[in-house]
């Protein structure tokens, strides 16, 4: 099972985003959080910025939409240059239809769950999604502490992916660091979003490598 590290530019310097994207060239994707101050109590960036970042990023863009009316806006982010677009189950009226539309546009389709949202409604629909994102903090702000109670959800999801044979990626976003990534990987995640852990490090590339190694260890054991 491959391990993927997706540094979150929410923790980057917004005045130097192109520079800070260059710093994560050894990562698998750049994780871009889009927030609308309605679905979550924070406002970040939108379509024009994502479109421009996609033109200069050395790695593919993994866009995480924490916005209302995902059915309307998710395809626009696919058109803006994202390689993967993740929308929240709680914000989509027709998640399967939306995922199919994203795939038709040539991007990976992901669906996200807040920490308290159950994973069970998705288990029979895994073939419709390229990735399931389990939020391990409440969405809206970076730098929060990991919620341990989300680990059983990851275990149930990993078992379902294994049984289904879909190859759906399991992504975790929130509180990922050297201290937590090993047990998150043991619970079943294979794709890890890390913001402050990466951008707060003295050597960004070395931190990405360290997180990758720590995540691979329990998977290979």
Name the active-site residue from 20, 62, 173, 190: 173
Place of tokens 């979003």: 193
Measured CA to CA, the distance from residue 189 to residue 90 in angstroms comes to 21
Q: Which of 33, 62, 130, 190 is catalytic?
A: 33
33 belongs to the catalytic site? yes
φ, ψ for residue 41, nearest 5 deg: -85, 50
**Residue 130 annotated in active site:** no
Angstrom distance (rounded) from CA 170 to CA 185: 10
> Residue 37 carries which DSSP code?
S
What angle do helix axes 95-104 and 70-79 make, rounded to 10 degrees?
10
Instruction: Give the residue numbers annotated as catalytic, written as ranges.
Output: 33, 173
């Amino acid at each position: 099972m491959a391990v993927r590290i997706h540094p979150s530019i929410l923790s980057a310097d917004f005045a130097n985003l192109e520079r800070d994207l260059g710093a994560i060239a050894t990562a698998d994707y750049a994780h871009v959080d889009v927030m609308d101050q309605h679905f979550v109590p924070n406002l970040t960036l939108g379509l024009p910025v994502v479109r421009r970042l996609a033109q200069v990023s050395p790695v593919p863009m993994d866009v995480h939409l924490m916005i209302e009316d995902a059915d309307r806006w998710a395809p626009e982010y696919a058109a803006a240059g994202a390689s993967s677009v993740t929308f929240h189950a709680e914000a989509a009226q027709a998640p399967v239809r939306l995922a199919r539309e994203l795939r038709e546009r040539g991007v990976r389709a992901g669906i996200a769950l807040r920490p308290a949202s159950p994973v069970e409604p998705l288990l029979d629909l895994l073939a419709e999604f390229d990735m399931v994102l389990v939020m391990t903090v409440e969405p809206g702000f970076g730098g929060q502490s990991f919620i341990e109670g989300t680990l059983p959800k990851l275990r149930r999801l990993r078992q379902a992916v294994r049984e289904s044979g879909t190859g759906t990626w399991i992504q975790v976003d929130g509180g990922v660091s050297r201290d937590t990534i090993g047990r998150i990987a043991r619970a079943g995640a294979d794709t890890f979003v890390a913001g402050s852990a990466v951008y707060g490090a003295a050597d960004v590339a070395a931190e990405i490598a360290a997180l990758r190694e720590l995540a691979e260890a329990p998977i290979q054991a």
